Amino acid sequence: MTPASPLVTIRPVAPDDQDTVRAILGGSWGDTQVAGHGTLYDAADLPGYVAEIGEETAGLLTYHVGDDGWEVVTLDAIVVGHGVGTALLRTVEEAAHQAGARRLWLITTNDNTHALRFYQRRGFDLVAVHRGAVTRSRAELKPSIPLEVDGIPLRHELELERLLKP
Ligand SMILES: CC(C)(COP(=O)(O)OP(=O)(O)OC[C@H]1O[C@@H](n2cnc3c(N)ncnc32)[C@H](O)[C@@H]1OP(=O)(O)O)[C@@H](O)C(=O)NCCC(=O)NCCS
């Protein structure tokens, strides 16, 4: 795994961060509503971590604690390629492990080949392909999900996990 940059610091999301959290989520996902596996989260209401480089906000991760493990709901680096995503992921992994979670898991989508590479390089395994799940989310939960990204029809969910316990 790429070493985390010493310049990146991570802290839990605080109540004062609401404007920043909403701006980051809005910039990446259109608004704070995030659809996955038939669930619509308001990610601004979720616990999370903020990454900073110096005084600047550099990224955000939000997560949900469920019966079947901790789910990374959103991960966004504002400053890319400087270890922000890696540091955020390591932080939530450590917290989930400390809490005794069985696994850390997440959903990404079939267009997001960069995320698929990023997560697999960081120990995540592809455990399911939910065919048509994005199409269903668009129809039932979030009509603003784009039809395509980079010319790739946006249709399916990929579920990846990292086991934290044997
Ligand atoms: C996927 C995403 C979160 C990765 O975040 P990131 O901060 O760019 O990731 P990192 O910097 O930790 O690692 C990416 C690359 O940067 C480089 N890098 C990492 N740390 C570095 C450092 N300290 N110095 C220099 N380069 C570094 C590495 O080349 C690394 O690539 P690798 O996988 O070959 O090791 C980011 O691209 C993003 O926000 N994408 C859009 C939203 C998204 O798709 N989110 C995930 C969907 S669920």
User: Cα of 83 to ligand 1 centre, how many Å?
Assistant: 6
Burial track 11-26 (b if 16+ CB lie within 10 A, e otherwise): eebeeebeeebeebbe
Residue nearest atom 44 of ligand 1, based on CA coordinates = 115
- Pick from 79, 137, 85: nearest CA to 110: 137
> Does residue 119 have its Cβ closer than 6 Å to ligand 1?
no
Residue 104 CA from chain centroid, whole number: 11
> Does residue 2 have its Cβ closer than 6 Å to ligand 1?
yes
Residue 150, phi then psi, degrees to nearest 5: 55, 35
> Does residue 84 have its Cβ closer than 6 Å to ligand 1?
yes
Beta-strand pair 103-109/69-77:
parallel
Residue 55, phi then psi, degrees to nearest 5: -90, -10
pLDDT digit string (tens) for 142-163? 999 999 999 999 999 999 999 9
Q: Which CATH superfamily is domain 8-163 in?
A: Gcn5-related N-acetyltransferase (GNAT) (3.40.630.30)
Residue 106, phi then psi, degrees to nearest 5: -165, 165
Strand-pair partners of 148:
153
| pLDDT at site 166 | 74
pLDDT digit string (tens) for 12-38? 999 999 999 999 999 999 999 999 999
Domain ranges within the chain, ordered by starting residue: 8-163
Distance between CA atoms of residues 48 and 138, nearest Å: 25
pLDDT digit string (tens) for 46-80? 999 999 999 999 999 999 999 999 999 999 999 99
Q: What is the pTM of this model?
A: 0.94
Residue nearest atom 17 of ligand 1, based on CA coordinates = 81
